[in-house]
A and B are shown apart, each in its own frame.
Chain A
Amino acid sequence: MNVSLADPVRESELRVSTDGSSVSLRGITKSFGVQEVLHGIDLDIPAGQFVAIVGRSGCGKSTLLRLVAGLDKPTSGTVEIDGRATGWRDTVRLMFQEPRLLPWQRVAANVEVGLSHRKSGDDRRRLAIETLAQVGLDDRAKEWPSVLSGGQKQRVALARALVSHPRILAFDEPLGALDALTRIEMQSLIEQVWQDKGFTAIVVTHDVTEAVTLADRVLLLDAGRVAMDVTVDLPRPRRHGDPEAAAIEGRILDRLLGR
């Protein structure tokens, strides 16, 4: 990357190393004490795919996501990213349901948290501001998180996840706490950065409509097993209320509700 310091932002640089990684889970089980939450999950997610995982509360979907994000270890089985079983922690970024911003750091510094794993920190601020611009908040870089709205905080959290160019982005119900309009805005923002950057996206949600609007593929998790694996092959951007999407949604909901 031959970018001189005088040269502020290069379009090309922003797209560097933005391919996704493939994920493969082999025989994953996870137990907490005597209770087994996941029973032998086998799953392949090709690089760059947008996957949504839906299911009832307690079906193990968040647990599965935390395994992929490297936050927890499986009781048995392996998680492989691009065919490697270890050393991939920093290629995966996780967005939580809550923004989890450090309230005592300004917005830009919070985005820089996403670069914590890197040794050198010379261009941290510049990268943070660039990434904030991608989520439309570069003008709020110097604010405290407490003055931002819920949706803005979640966008800062998205910038924090994006700033290190992750190859996999995992979302744990990231929009669960937002109001309906802000949700729709965030959904299209997430779709847009995903299309821009080409990372592999894995979203855990309890909202089937959201899953069908965003994902290439919807997995339904039931009692620790993959109960349904649906491909959503519809043109993007998808509009809410599209009849084809509604049909897929109906099938998933029927299965979820046991109808």
Chain B
Amino acid sequence: MKRALPWVVPVVILLAWQAASQFGVLRDQIMPAPTAVAEAFWRVLRSGELLRDIEISTWRAFAGFAVGGGIGFALGMLNGLSGLSEKLTDSTLQMVRNIPHLALIPLVILWFGIGEEAKLFLVALGVFFPIYVNTLHGVRSVDRQLLEMARAYGMSERAIFWRVVFPGALPSIFVGLRYGLGIMWLTLIVAETISASSGIGFMAMNAREFMMVDVVVVSILIYALLGKLADSIARLLERTCLAWNPVYADV
């Protein structure tokens, strides 16, 4: 009974939506019925178009995430551990951080055209900051007392990094990771909608040209699904990696 509770509202909305379409309150050109959307989904799935677009979008998303997240993580660690490096780069990074990365789209199109590089660049840039900021925060908030203990017990600098600093920063890094995943999809949607010849965003824009509202809705739902899926994987990882923390322990 308790498990079903979160599903009550979505199901009611779906039923109301279907009813509204059925009785002509919602016109098809504004919003097709759920059954029509399901049909469209089945159609694009059968044609292979959907899977191809999901594949290319997912690849773009994660390639950009790997690049931006990787650099953000490395710089966050470096600046957390080295005061010199932090003094040198942090204020510059904070300055750049205050520019909405999507504001760079015109510039990015000038630089890279509308190819893959433009989308990867935007995703990487968007993902970089949440990972950087949270990694830095995580390293800084590692318990000083544990570090002192590790030194007193003769741990090598390497062991201190892997056994104290990294695990201590991990909860915060995961916050950055989940935040970054959100920005990753958002950026990709915008980038694909503006300029692309494949991917889910392209599928939506292409369907709009032909007034196929049902396919547009399918694309939006796919984005929602992919976003939710990525977040669920991150949460699963979080629960596995942070099992020591009573806050994340499986109950």
Spell out A's residues near B (CB within 8 Å): 69-71, 89-90, 93-94, 96, 98, 100, 102-105, 113-114, 116-117, 144-146, 160
Contacts and interface: CB of A to CB of B under 8 A. Distances in A.
A117 B154 contact: yes
Given A96-B145, A102-B167, A113-B150, 7 more contacts: A89-B154, A96-B149, A100-B146, A100-B148, A104-B167, A117-B153, A117-B154
B110 to A, nearest CB: 47
B155 A146 contact: no
Nearest to B147: A100
29 contacts: A71-B148, A71-B151, A71-B152, A90-B154, A93-B153, A94-B152, A96-B145, A100-B146, A100-B149, A102-B163, A102-B164, A104-B168, A104-B170, A104-B242, A105-B163, A105-B244, A113-B149, A113-B150, A113-B155, A116-B153, A116-B154, A116-B156, A116-B159, A117-B153, A117-B154, A117-B155, A145-B244, A146-B244, A146-B246
A98 B156 CA distance: 22
B2 to A, nearest CB: 26
A127 B219 CA distance: 59
Q: Which 9 A-B pairs have the closest CB atoms?
A: A117-B154, A104-B167, A100-B149, A116-B155, A104-B244, A144-B244, A116-B154, A146-B246, A116-B153
Contacts of A160: 153
Interface string B185-203: 0000000000000000000
A14 B154 CA distance: 22
Interface string B222-245: 000000000000000000001111
A105 B146 CA distance: 12
B106 to A, nearest CB: 45
Which of B148, B152, B167 has most A Cβ within 10 Å?
B152
Contacts of A89: 154
A100 B153 CA distance: 12
A53 B145 CA distance: 22
A155 to B, nearest CB: 16
Nearest to A70: B152
B245 A103 contact: yes
Nearest to B160: A116
A98 B148 CA distance: 12
A98 B145 contact: yes
B90 to A, nearest CB: 27
Contacts of A94: 152
Nearest to B242: A104
Interface in B154-178: 154-156, 159, 163-164, 167-168, 170
B164 A69 contact: no
Contacts of A70: 152
Given A146-B244, A146-B246, A102 B152 contact: no
Contacts of B246: 146
Nearest to B166: A104
B193 to A, nearest CB: 42
A104 B246 CA distance: 11
A116 B164 CA distance: 13
A114 B151 CA distance: 11
